[in-house]
Structure 1
Amino acid sequence: MLNNYLLNNDEHKGEHKMKKIASLLTLMLPLLLLFSAFAQAIDLDGSGSFTATGFYNLTGAEVVNGSAQGSSTPWMYQQWHCPCSIQNWEYAGVYEKSKGFRLDQESLFGLQLRKEFTPTLSVTGQFVMRAQNPNNGSSPSVDWLYASWSPAPDSPFTFQVGRLRIPLYYYSDYLYIGYSYPWVRPPPDVYGWPIYEYDGGNASYHIQLGKSAWTMNASVWTGNFKQTYDAYDTLIYDTNPTTESWKKMWGSYVSMTNGTFDVRAMAMEYRDTTTINNPGAPATTVVSNQFTRIEGLSANMDYQNWVVRGEIDRYQQQSTALGINNVYKYNLLGVGYKVGDFTPMLTHSQYTTVAQPIEAQKTNSIVVRWDFRPNTALKVQYDVNIDESQYPYKFFGNSHLLSVSLQGIF
């Protein structure tokens, strides 16, 4: 009884904090809209060497209906009252039909500070306050904190060291800057893993290809990251506090663009260790120093009024000796057309595992983006999620989700 009380009490406290942050973002909205009218960075020291830019997403959504294993009877999955819909795997952002329209799962405010010491040396930090952040609560998280150096102001080489976002996907660097992409959120069937940052360094090379309109950017990175009480593993799958670490990361990508077409190929590998900390019992090691590889390919087009987004990825963690066969395949394809300030877009996305029990989902969505003022967009999106998992229990299930989001930059 006491344990149940404490768990329920913690849940109520957590929901109260999330609602407070969502309310704060709503109150800040007039100020954010005012800032969004200015395209240039905010000069903090009068010389232009210390600047601030920011972004915000005020996102609300509601599960319209849902079912699982052929029944619409409400069910529980982990701590969630379903029908429900997961829309953020990294921070376990889940909408529950019983709770109606909610602003406290994906709303956020971010601030990026940049200090330029010389034309070739700078330090950048990105801090984000999220309405839903099981790891940090109501405290802002440090998403980025790194130093950049180039041999010369016009050098094609750039070197960075510190905490950075793992560039797994096309939109990895802009994942929480909603204004930068067509949707309310990039399709969660593709975007979302337990580890999303690394502490380490990278080197990049940028060059124009001859006299053509094409430019190429190539990058290599290496580092490590350990996430204690990882929300992805702890809340979505394992229930008990789970720690996951990715060590000896090595990755690279090459991207090419001519302003109309954009293609990108990525590959990375690392050693994965995941441990479930069982209260009152020895910890369970799910995988230990397990070799893992992720590969991805994206192709995009912005031609006249047409907008096309495509991405395909593969996650592979296998060991015949240990009986490990964790393979995920995931992809998306979206097609939109700009009509004045409006951009309607249709998108299909899906993911699936290859080993039993199968976990799989596919999503069809329609979104309309309205750029009604500079640096600000209002988006309305309707998702039809189809759960094709073959678990013996009810997973997140099928759902229809209606989302509305005001997103901007300043």
Structure 2
Amino acid sequence: MVLAPASTTAGMAALSPVRGLAALMAAGLLCPVAAQAQEVSTSGFASLVLGRTSGGCTSSTLAPAFSSNCTRYIADWGHAGVYDEDASVRPETRAGLQATVKFNPQLSATTQVTTRTAKDQALNLEWLYLSYQLSPSVTLQLGRKRLPLYYYSDFQDVGYASNTVRPSPDVYGWDVVNYNGASLSHSMEVAGWSVRSEVMLGTEKSRKNPYSRLFYEEPKDVKWGGIGGTTVEVSKDWFTARFSYARSNFAQTDHATGVVEVAADGPKQDFIGLALNADLDDWTIRSELGQAKRESLGYKARFHLLTVGYRIGQFTVTGGLSGYDETAYDSAYNPLKLKSQLLALRYELHKGGALKLQIDKVKDNSAVTSVGNTRLISGAYDLVF
């Protein structure tokens, strides 16, 4: 999960006019060159997710649109996807299409667009980048990509890739999840281990930021500038480890008035993450932990998740724990402290399609209730094609 309003972490904005034009230009450019390309590949994914909350009524420090509910569960912080006691498919239902055009063995172009039933999320440009293979082990990419903060970042929207309905919101929640810039990746083999490393630089601006709607009635624009970071992933046989680090500054502006609420030269933010995963025969273990901090504000957040799954034929049963714990030295700020548990059942309905049923229980240990205690029952049909 993430830092609160003026202590952000990243989400995804709805397609702005500029990004919309970029998407149309991409489509226009890719179509005529497709006939000249060596290879054109397309793929897609979709998730139909239904859920509702239950539990004792509690107050909330969220914006009125969400705090008025008796119980609430924030399933997707980055897109303001919130369930309440009325069953709904709006918070998380989504679909996406991806196309890659390969011009020659070294050069290709990739784009991905998603649509969501969440408010103001009808069209999102997730990827639009060029890839150039400088050597068999080194690749340069330029354009719009996903921020590689966490293990599932690149494929977080692809519900079929996870045994649970969603990656834990206690870890996966931020106000900017994309960046526009460049990345350089390197792959190699070392003593039987596969090692992939990447460095990236960029910036991102999110207009009418969905995450901010959780805390403010008026829409906000959020900008991350000077984004820089690195990831290193090593794997061998059944084990995978991934380390990530990112740093940026940020600005927040009132969308309607243009009043700067957090200056661009304000405090910088740092993110550190570590994932340790294992796939042992029918067992699946996923773990992730990390922290986000702003030293000049005396702010730090620690988060973690652990899930263990066991496959029985076409079924997979998964249990998990997660948590998010903030500390801050500003007495006016209410640190968020959450602990969560989950139990999920996945059934492979057909090739590329799975049904899931999940129960989540959240305990809010914040000094002042932020989201409140709640239980969520949700079901999903995930598809890749």
Instruction: Give the TM interval when normalised to the shorter protein.
Output: 0.7 to 0.9
- Structure 2 unaligned regions, length at least 5: 1-33
Matched AA of 1:270:
S
Distance 2:206 2:88 in 1: 27
**SS of residue in 1 equivalent to 2:268:** strand
Check conservation: 1:75, 1:82, Cα contact below 8 A.
no
Q: Equivalent of 1:84, from 67, 72, 79? A: 72
Deviation string 1:52-111 (CA, Å, 9 cap, x unpaired) is 100000111111324326xxxx998521223111100011001111xx221111111100
Q: Which moved more, 1:79-88 or 1:283-292?
A: 283-292
Is 1:377 paired with 2:354?
Answer: yes
Question: SS in structure 2 opposite 1:179?
Answer: helix
Does the 8 Å CA contact 1:278/1:284 hold for their aligned counterparts? no
- 1:167 — aligned with what? 148
1:346 aligns with 2:319: yes
Provide the residue aligned with 2:17 in structure 1: none
Shift of 1:301: 0.3
Deviation of 1:236 (Å) = 0.9
Q: Contact 2:47 / 2:380 at 8 angstroms: preserved in 1?
A: yes
Within the candidate set 276, 282, 285, 2:254 is matched to 276
- Per the alignment, residue 261 of structure 2 pairs with 285
The reply to whether residue 363 of structure 1 matches residue 340 of structure 2 is: yes
- How far apart are the structure 2 equivalents of 1:225 and 1:326? 23
Q: 1:133 offset after TM fit, Å?
A: 4.2
Partner residue in 2 for 1:241? 219
Task: Please state whether the residue corresponding to 1:118 is helix, strand or coil.
Answer: coil
Contact 1:66 1:84 (8 Å CA) reproduced: no
Q: 1:228 aligns with which of 198, 207, 212?
A: 207
Name the CA distance, whole Å, in 2 between partners of 1:363 and 1:77: 22
**Residues 160 and 202, structure 1, Cα contact 8 Å, conserved in 2:** yes
Query: What is the Cα deviation at residue 304 of structure 1?
Result: 1.0
Question: How far apart, CA to CA, are the structure 1 residues paired with 2:347 and 2:254?
Answer: 44
Q: Secondary structure at the match of 1:173?
A: helix
Partners of 2:176 and 2:170 in 1: CA distance: 16
**Residue identity opposite 1:149 in structure 2:** Y
TM-score of the superposed pair, with normalisation by structure 2: 0.85
Cα distance change, pair 341–183 in 1 and its aligned pair in 2 (3 A)? same
Residue identity opposite 1:55 in structure 2: F
Counterpart in the other structure of 2:44: 54
Count the aligned residue pairs. Answer: 345
Kept in 2: contact 1:276–1:286 (CA 8 A): no
Give runs of aligned pairs for residues 247-326 of structure 1, distance below 5 A: 247-277=225-255, 283-289=259-265, 290-319=267-296, 324-326=297-299
Distance 1:269 1:407 in 2: 33
Shift of 1:255: 0.5
RMSD: 2.0
Q: Which residue matches 1:121?
A: 107
Change (3 A) 1:278 1:143: closer
Identify the match of residue 364 of structure 2 among 387, 391, 404. 387
Which letter maps to 1:246? W
Instruction: Call closer, same or farther: CA 1:47–1:244 in 2, change over 3 Å.
Output: closer
Q: Secondary structure at the match of 1:338?
A: strand
> Is the 1:56–1:109 Cα contact (8 Å) retained in structure 2?
yes
Contact 1:68/1:395 (8 A) holds in 2: no
Say whether the 8 Å CA contact 1:90–1:232 is kept in structure 2: yes
Q: Are residues 367 and 307 of structure 1, via their aligned partners in 2, closer, same or farther at CA, if it must alter by over 3 Å?
A: same
- Aligned match of 2:58: 68
Structure 1: where are the runs of 5+ without partners? 1-43
Rounded Cα–Cα distance in structure 1 between residues aligned with 2:62 and 2:215: 13
Letter in 1 for 2:101: K
Q: Deviations over 1:244-286 (max 9, x none)?
A: 111111100110011300001111111111233576xx82523
Residues of 2 paired with 1:276 and 1:46: CA distance?
46
**Mapped pair 1:396 → 2:371:** yes
User: Equivalent residue for 2:307?
Assistant: 334
Asked whether the 8 Å contact 2:363–2:374 carries over to 1, the reply is: yes
Identity among equivalent positions (%) equals 28
Task: Report the Cα distance in structure 2 between the residues aligned to 1:186 and 1:77, rounded to whole angstroms.
Answer: 24
Deviation at residue 318 of structure 1 after TM alignment: 2.2
Query: 355-364 or 302-311, which moves further after superposition?
Result: 355-364
AA in 1 matched with 2:243: A
- 5 Å-filtered alignment, 1:166-245, equals 166-210=147-191, 212=192, 214-233=193-212, 235-245=213-223
SS of the counterpart of 1:90? helix
Give 1:372 deviation, angstroms.
2.3
Displacement of 1:325: 2.3
| Structure of higher CA gyration radius | 1
For 1:88 and 1:409, how far apart are their aligned partners in 2?
20
Q: Counterpart of 2:382?
A: 407
